[in-house]
Amino acid sequence: MAHARKTTHSRKTAARRKTSVRKSTKRATPKRWSQRVTKESDALDLKRGVFKLTSPRKIAASLKRSAEHSSRRKTGAYRSALSMLTFYINRAGKTLPKTQRTRLERAKVELKRAFGRE
């Protein structure tokens, strides 16, 4: 005689599973919160690819230019530029290649120099 196996799923579990499959009708938001912060925060309007530049001096100059011309920032230009640079370094974390990390750390020094904070 074959016995029917008991199912271990309750009705609540099945109901939960159905609702989690359903897609949301909200507008699409960026996958990463750091991406959303970069786009929507009152920080800076950055030039595209600024952190990929090869020269620390060029990175610092671009950040300075963006900070001084931005209408979104709430603090001083130097503070805004430095915090965006630090934010990028921190969010990249361990995945940031060592060469780029040193380039960005040098860009911090160049930024201080550019703003006369040496």
pLDDT digits (tens, 9 = 90+) for 12-37: 555 555 555 555 566 565 577 767 76
- 35: which 2 tokens? 């991406």
Domain presence at residue 41: yes
Answer for the pair 57, 113: CB distance below 8 angstroms, yes or no.
no
Per-residue pLDDT, 71: 79
Domain presence at residue 85: yes
Domain presence at residue 27: no
Domain presence at residue 15: no
Return d(Cα 91, Cα 103) in angstroms, integer. 16
Enclosing domain of residue 71: 32-114
Cα dist from 53 to 60, 75, 94, 101, whole Å: 10, 25, 19, 12
**Matching residue, tokens 């990463």:** 32
Domain presence at residue 7: no
Query: Could you write out the DSSP letters of every residue in the chain?
Result: -PPPPPP---HHHHHHHHHHHSPP-SPP--SSHHHHHHHHSSS--PPTTGGG-S-HHHHHHHHHHHHHH-SS-SS-HHHHHHHHHHHHHHHHGGGS-HHHHHHHHHHHHHHHHHTT--
pLDDT tens digits for range 73-99: 778 889 988 988 998 899 888 888 999
Per-residue pLDDT, 18: 55
Per-residue pLDDT, 69: 87
* Domain total of the chain: 1
Per-residue pLDDT, 4: 62
Domain presence at residue 6: no
Domain presence at residue 80: yes
More confident residue, 7 or 79: 79
Domain presence at residue 3: no
- 93: which 2 tokens? 């974390």
Per-residue pLDDT, 36: 73
Per-residue pLDDT, 50: 87
pLDDT tens digits for range 38-73: 666 666 777 888 888 999 999 999 999 988 888 777
